[in-house]
A and B are shown apart, each in its own frame.
Chain A
Amino acid sequence: MQNFRYLENVTTLELDIEKCIGCGMCEIVCPHTVFKVEKPKAAIADRDACMECGACATNCPVAAINVTPGVGCASYIIQTWIKGKDAVIECC
């Protein structure tokens, strides 16, 4: 996956190091090795590899991770522009 890099400095990923308990769940579920647990806490090792899938935030037991998850799909985004973010969108 290292051949595939997308835009830099766009991800909404945030890790609240204060809350982190270093359980390593984020490192396990992330499909892009964004996190590295360096005892006793997790750290964001490769921020720009994040695709905002939300696996880490969904599975963090102490809600230390924040990311706006979504579908990285052009036709989906066009529909959110037209219908608004909260509309029911059938796509992808």
Chain B
Amino acid sequence: MKELPLKKLNTDRETKDCCSNNSQNTECKPELQPIGIPMAKPIEDDAPCCGPKPGPPSSPFEKPGYRMWHFVADFTTTPVGKVPRIDTTLKIQDFAGTLRARLGILRDRYRVAPGLYSVGRPTAESPVLVTANYKLSFDSLRRELASIDAWILVLDTRGVNVWCAAGKRTFSAEEVIRQVNLIGLERLVCHRELILPQLGAPGVSSQAVKKGCGFKVVWGPIRAKDLKNFLNNRCRTEAATRQLSFTIAERTVLIPVELSLIVKPSLAILLAVFLLSGIGPEIFSFSAAWIRGLNGAVAYLFGVLAGAIIVPILLPWLPMRRFYIKGILTGLVAGIFVVLLVGGTMSRLESLTLLLITAAVSSYAAMNFTGATPYTSPSGVEKEMRQGIPIQIIAVVAAVIAWVAAPFVN
């Protein structure tokens, strides 16, 4: 990183060394002002024209080749160049984007450019808040910063949230150091502190950051909503803000992404279900493939529903700690519904098979939810998988044999 021409970054005014030994606080403040650029003249209302009214003139901050985010209010001139000043209220586009990302649509591309942003009217003494470049993380931070003056340092976490990026080591000491040096943060602020979200701690060694760029890491609260209190309390946190939560709302928003991940394998599985359902004494029957296949598909989908939707919602109230067992329990209940729903036309063997399929699918889907929870240890997950997967495999093999054999038995 050191070979980057840091000092040659665009600066609009002369850089003051704000941290020289004899500098007073008053000297420490570089003049930070929004830039006044004249806008294009709006068209007068009574101007003769045809068709719909033209939109507003282009923002003076727009540049050819770049698209400006709606959340950028204006730019502030600083010793390290022009820094965007961002809004703290979310707009309809933000909520639409959140919804899209939560549904898993183009989620990996929902990101903001890494680098430096500002909120309010920060000075050289204002705190520097570090976050990830996943737009949802960025939004959840800025919406809590109304009436706060701060710098925001966005790391390049490849569009992944703080917690997961820390796990993947993209929210890391190296990336903090890289961004600090790239921006020339030491020329912007006179203190030497960075406030990082606590959930970034698995990826960031505070000692390494201090060593690599001279900035001290201060671990902030887990949730952005506790930041205001944290800053007002001179960067001290209360114990409650250091603990994770996993409320029903926090669990429910995770469901669509989990579902979006299993759409593709599900299509392959459903195709197999229809094909297997057609096998019978007359070798292959399209009508059986359709009728029995539909029943099998219902059992599969109820399994997904029980494991990937019901288990996350009811998580703390379901008995047993192992997720695969929680999934079996909800799967058996869902399987009974399947039998009641479609079992009327089926033999007892087929009904039992449907019950088995629903429970096995639910068990597997529930086990996969461990990856989305903030309390399951990998050692624990591996332990339960060593038990759960053999049971699931046996159940599926037995179900397939019974399902294919049923038409011959009847």
Contacts and interface: CB of A to CB of B under 8 A. Distances in A.
A2 to B, nearest CB: 9
Interface in A10-56: 10-12, 25, 28-33, 49-55
Main secondary structure of the interface of B (DSSP, over half): helix
A61 B245 contact: no
B378 A77 contact: yes
A10 B378 CA distance: 9
Interface string A73-92: 11111100000000000001
Given A61-B207, A71-B167, A92-B371, A51 B201 contact: no
B381 to A, nearest CB: 4
Interface size class of A (residues with CB under 8 A): 35 or more
A72 B246 contact: no
B316 A4 contact: yes
Contacts of B207: 59, 61
Contacts of B198: 28-29, 31, 55
Interface string B370-381: 111111111111
Interface string B188-224: 0000000000110111111100000000000100100
Interface residues of B, number: 43
A61 B208 CA distance: 10
A30 B100 CA distance: 32
A76 B242 CA distance: 27
A69 B202 contact: yes
A29 B201 CA distance: 6
Interface stretch (B43-51, B268-276, B280-288, B382-390): B382-390
B242 A77 contact: no
B203 A6 contact: no
Interface of B: 164, 166-167, 198-199, 201-207, 219, 222, 239, 242-246, 315-316, 321-322, 367-368, 370-385, 389
Given A52-B378, A69-B378, 16 more contacts: A6-B376, A7-B377, A30-B242, A31-B198, A31-B199, A33-B242, A51-B374, A53-B167, A53-B202, A55-B198, A58-B202, A61-B207, A72-B378, A74-B370, A74-B385, A75-B368
